[in-house]
Chain A
Amino acid sequence: MQIRDLKRVFNGSVVAVGGVTFDVYEGEIFGFLGPNGAGKTTTISMLTTLLRPTSGTATVCGFDILKEPNEVRKRIGVVPQEYTADEDLTGYENIMFCADLYGIPRRISRERADELLKLVELESAKDRKVETYSGGMRRRLELACGLINHPRVLFLDEPTLGLDVQTRAAVWEYIRRLKEEYGMTLFLTTHYLEEADSLCDRIAIIDHGKIVRIGSPRDLKDSLGGDVIELGVQGAEDDLAQLISSVQHVKEVKRVAPSEYRIKSELGEVTAPMIIDALRSKGYRVSKISLTRPTLDQVYLELTGRSIREENGDRTQAMRQRMIMRRARM
């Protein structure tokens, strides 16, 4: 999968995806991370031929998404962010419906539906209407639907959104197994960084429609260059960044709140006491301190600023989000 300068602008002004270029290799699990509204879903929509890019192009399985969208569609599976299964139909009927959309002959699709329902452990509920399913069951049904055509590339948009810890673990277990069994390529977005860390072969971090970093979880963590010390100073209004950065080994100081600092340094365990001493000698008291080895969370925070971002999206988006949540709760 090759993505070249893909760009999408909504209503002439909202730049959802501002020209991204990257490759996804065959057989890998590729994670797409970013804050709300970063452009993840928009990118997936373009790659799955639902949205036409404003400019740029991409190939999926060797087919151009603009010139041969139908060839792309035959070879991909999509598990969308929303629950799209038909509530009035049963789980089995929903899967068969998906199979028919691909024109898979009945003989084969029956076999596959059974196999997939078994895989996602929905066998016993397959003849119940989807409206009686829990959020986790719906998710798993979506997963099964996305796999019915044995896709070469499976797109998963936040496959574990709104799921409890057990179900999330189970969904990832299926995903891992699928990759092993069918050798397919997985392209997924998630907000759970630990998951991305443990599952993905490579990760791209996207923010404001731009890719800010791409690489294996290992590479990303290494790129942070050292440990992170977080520090709170009691009652200090002054900017102490200057003072802290004069301490040995300190590489970078960021003032994240009026009296809180995030410090990057090598040999954190040695540097931390030195910083405390330095501050004390100037009459400041350290109220709290923590030392962390780099995790993906930190890479993410480092690159995108805050962990949670208020969605500044339009009303439709917000409505949809609410609907997902409402349905997830049902």
Chain B
Amino acid sequence: MSGLTNEEENAKLVQQARSAPAAGAKTSSTIISSSPYHGLWALTNRELKKWYKNPVILLLSLIQPVLWLGLFGKAMNFGAIFTEGGLNIPGLNIPKEVINQLGGMLMLNIFGTYDYFSFLAVGMLSFIIIFTAMFSGMSIVWDRRLGTLNKVMSTPVARGSIVMSKVISSVMRSLVQAAIVLVLAILLGMDTSHMSLLGVIGTFASLALLSFGFSAVFLMLALRSTNQNTQMAVVNLLNLPLLFGSNALFPANLMPEWLQAFVRVNPISYATDIGRQLLLGAGGMSSLAFDFAYLGAFAAVFSIVGILLSWRLLTK
């Protein structure tokens, strides 16, 4: 700014300021919408803008699931173990066709599909959802640190909108990412023989519910936090157990009893279960209806708790 604004320019500025509708001041309170949702879209839009304007973040967030897909999915070729190459026991003269058929049956029994890659690809869809949800918690910590949160809270925006906007933007972000992961997986050789449009839509609906619930959970954990390191530690602590304690990477029925119990309450398992049934035509852990009901309840309960907590915790 030039502090040396000359007289002329100054006069112009004053003129402009004058022409401003001074009456606006009097009517200001009346034009402000009293809808409790008016800030929701503004806040969501801001989050999304920050995201799509910075494609590097999008790319970085895709690297991990894609690496896992490539490394685990392709390297752990469980299918090969159960074919003639793997099941070649000397002395026993089992015909090739029998071995291959047996192997196929085994794979189908254990993973519900003929190749591990497809099995894992569905798990990776849930993985990216959890990953994004964790970072939505981080963003509220940043907003608090930088004072943005205070600024927002000094406006008539409903407190619940602050949390909901983060949840919604996280859901939208993670669905886009999941779509990209799915496309990449298909390009890398995921089994598409059972896929249908309806199946894909159903899968994404379940992912949306999963994202809704987990974003709300991680935001709640972050509501009171002022330190991004603490938040990071919490995220890291929950990250792997949540993932490994589900059927995303490995079938649950081969796990020890206690772990299976955990898998059964872990919402990730239900989203993955839906995905495998709808995308791969695999036999499920439970019925589709039950899966959806479980995820729906999970999403509903935690977003309601999140909104209630935000009323209490955001104002200190």
Contact = CB atoms under 8 A, between A and B. Distances in A.
Contacts of A222: none
A118 B22 contact: no
Contacts of B5: 121, 170
Contact of B155 (A88, A102, A119, A181): A102
Interface stretch (A76-84, A223-231, A239-247, A279-287): A76-84
Interface string B139-172: 0000001111011111111000000000000000
Interface string A291-330: 0000000000000000000000000100010010000000
Contacts of B2: 166
Contacts of A80: 147, 150-151
A181 B54 CA distance: 40
A100 B39 contact: yes
Contact of A97 (B4, B16, B42, B145): B42
Interface string A35-55: 000000000010011111000
A170 B3 contact: yes
Contacts of A152: 25, 28
Contact of B3 (A112, A150, A166, A184): A166
B49 A89 contact: yes
Contacts of A136: 1
Contacts of A108: 24, 31
Contacts of A97: 42, 45-46
A302 to B, nearest CB: 32
A150 B145 CA distance: 27
Contacts of B35: 103
Contacts of A181: 17-18, 20, 22
A98 B3 CA distance: 27
Contact of A100 (B3, B29, B42, B226): B42
Interface in B1-40: 1-5, 13-14, 16-18, 20, 22, 24-25, 28-29, 31-35, 38-39
A104 B49 contact: no
Given A101-B157, A150-B25, A169-B3, A89 B315 contact: no
Interface stretch (A67-75, A186-194, A195-203, A210-218): A67-75
Contact of A177 (B17, B45, B157): B17
Name the residue among B46, B152, B226 with the largest chain A CB count within 10 angstroms. B46
A52 B145 CA distance: 19
A101 to B, nearest CB: 4
Nearest to A167: B1
B147 A84 contact: yes
B312 to A, nearest CB: 11
Nearest to B46: A97
Given A82-B146, A170-B1, A102 B17 contact: no
Contact of B315 (A51, A100, A140, A165): A51
A183 interface: yes
Nearest to B27: A150
A149 interface: yes
B136 to A, nearest CB: 16
Interface residues of A, number: 57
A93 interface: yes
Given A98-B155, A104-B32, A119-B16, A88 B50 contact: yes
A115 interface: yes
A145 B150 CA distance: 13
B78 to A, nearest CB: 44
Interface residues of B, number: 47
Given A88-B53, A102-B156, A184-B25, A121 B1 contact: yes
A86 interface: yes
A206 interface: no
A70 B7 CA distance: 42
A126 to B, nearest CB: 14
A137 interface: yes
Contact of A101 (B16, B34, B42): B42
A189 to B, nearest CB: 15
A150 B156 contact: no
Given A84-B150, A119-B16, A166 B155 contact: no
Nearest to A125: B1
A151 interface: yes
B231 to A, nearest CB: 15
A285 to B, nearest CB: 46
B28 A166 contact: no
Contacts of B147: 80-84
A318 B159 CA distance: 28
A105 interface: yes
B21 to A, nearest CB: 8
Contacts of B31: 104-105, 108
A22 interface: no
A88 B4 CA distance: 30
Interface string A167-179: 1011000000100
19 contacts: A50-B154, A52-B316, A78-B151, A83-B146, A88-B50, A88-B54, A98-B151, A98-B155, A100-B42, A102-B155, A103-B38, A166-B4, A167-B3, A170-B3, A181-B18, A183-B22, A183-B25, A320-B145, A323-B145
Given A86-B46, A118-B13, 14 more contacts: A50-B150, A50-B153, A70-B156, A73-B156, A74-B28, A89-B53, A101-B38, A119-B17, A149-B28, A164-B3, A166-B2, A167-B3, A181-B17, A182-B25
> Would you list the 9 A-B pairs with minimal beta carbon distance, nearest first?
A166-B3, A100-B42, A103-B33, A103-B38, A82-B147, A84-B147, A101-B155, A150-B28, A73-B156
